[in-house]
Amino acid sequence: MKTRWCLFVMVGLISCRDVTRSSSITHQVIADQLVDAFYSFDRDSLQTALSEAKSSQPNLLYYQKWAECGHYQIVQRNQPVQKNDSVILVPVTVKDDLMPALEIDFQVTDTFHIVVRDGMIRRVETSSNDPDTYYEAKAWVRQNRAEWVDKPCEGIWNGGPTPCDCIRGYIKGFQDFVKLKKVIAK
């Protein structure tokens, strides 16, 4: 009798593990679909993927257009990481117009933090590993070339109306920042 009970318990545990693995695979598929929608630069596809994540839409839709106008190109789509039962991280390394404007040989990795519950995306946040020079240059542009970014970047990361003008202003400002640094270095 004990042997049968142990087998029953073992079969039950194996089944539970398979359910967890299946859930993880499903989360990865859902996360991959979101990243595909983001980098398709098709607003409608991304909005559909975010249909149950309304609070994430303004940020992600703005960022999608920013990325499109900054000519983001996927260099490497890294392996998704299942952080817990509802959060999956998808790191994507990109080439863009920002780093060349800073004359930096660096490719940024953006990480999508995707919350999936009941088979639906509920929230998405992003983070990146931008180098310190990027933040230094951004602050310099806001202080010294505000006319290029103040108005165009109104509502930045919150559904603002002009993400293309915003990123172009920063790119132009980054180029001036680099020129000034070269003059100072001489």
What is the model's pTM? 0.84
Which residue ranges form the domains of the chain, and what is each CATH number?
2-185 (3.10.450.50)
pLDDT 10s digits, 64-113: 999 999 999 999 999 999 999 899 999 999 999 999 999 999 999 999 99
114, 127 in Cβ contact below 8 A? no
Length of the chain: 186
DSSP state of 85: S
pLDDT 10s digits, 2-46: 333 333 333 333 334 343 444 556 888 999 999 999 999 999 999
Residue type, 142: R
Q: What is the C-alpha separation between 6 and 26, in angstroms, rounded?
A: 30
Sign of the CA dihedral running 70, 76, 79, 81: negative
Q: Could you tell me what percentage of the chain is helix, strand and coil, using 3-state DSSP and rounding each to the nearest 5?
A: 55, 20, 25
- Count of CB atoms situated within 10 Å of the CB of 154: 13
